[in-house]
Amino acid sequence: MHGNLADNDALLRALRDGLAAGARADVAVCVPAPYLAQAQALCAGGPVTWGAQDVSAHEAGPYTGEVSATMLRDFGCRWVIVGHSERRQYHGETDETVARKAQRALACGITPIVCVGETEAQRAQGDTELVVKRQLAAVIHAVGHCVTEIVVAYEPVWAIGTGRTATPEQAQAVHAVLRAQLRAAASSDRRVRILYGGSMNAGNAAALLAQPDIDGGLIGSASLKAHEFLHIIAAAP
């Protein structure tokens, strides 16, 4: 929950200008819902695509304050984040709720970025694999053969906004587990992209992105600084 019209304008213009010569990675920004129109206006036709940070699990109806996937589509959203750890923690979102949100996004032609991750206590108990597989399984069950159309983001909760990050080896180990789960569920050989979302920054991006099962990053606070975000993008192999 960051941003205002002036800061957004400066950030998006800097990203657009910085990527004018092209990038090896796909680049997207997922903005708070009030700023979707601004993102659409500034990014349309350029190298940066845009999306939302959340979507309702409902198609329409008496759900005051909710934003539907159809509404997001009206603003040209290509992406939407579902199941972010902060949504799970502060808004009580369950695995089933996240799965329904992913369904709604796919039904409207929007790619859900499905977040999974363990808390520090769960990691300490040795439950990391159990937790992330359970969270992803709910989405796989809900979307069926469309699983190849999602993006997955592994965000260890203990590394969100703390400045801590998993080592490249720790992150790769979890990504490999998720990769195997996706391959077992998919009806095709299409590679589902898995992003790392635990405090990736300009200093650690290259080492993380060099891992075989880490396809990109779900960038948090570092994405609010154009020069740092561009540095991370440039680190993509």
- Catalytic sites, residue numbers: 84, 155
Q: Which residues are annotated as a binding site for substrate?
A: 161, 199
CA dihedral (178, 121, 204, 154) positive or negative: positive
Q: What is the DSSP string of 58-125?
A: SSSSS-TT---HHHHHHTT--EEEES-HHHHHHH---HHHHHHHHHHHHHTT-EEEEEE---HHHHHT
Token pair of 71 as six digits? 């509404």
Q: Which residues are annotated as a binding site?
A: 161, 199
Q: Output b/e per residue, 185-211; b: 16+ Cβ within 10 A.
A: bbeeeeebbbbbbbbbbbebbebbbeb
DSSP β-bridge partners for residue 79: 51, 111
d(CA 139, CA 145): 11
Sheet holding 216-217, edge to edge: 27-31, 48-52, 79-82, 111-116, 151-154, 194-196, 216-217
C-beta separation of 154 from 175 below 8 A:
yes
> H or E stretch including 204?
none
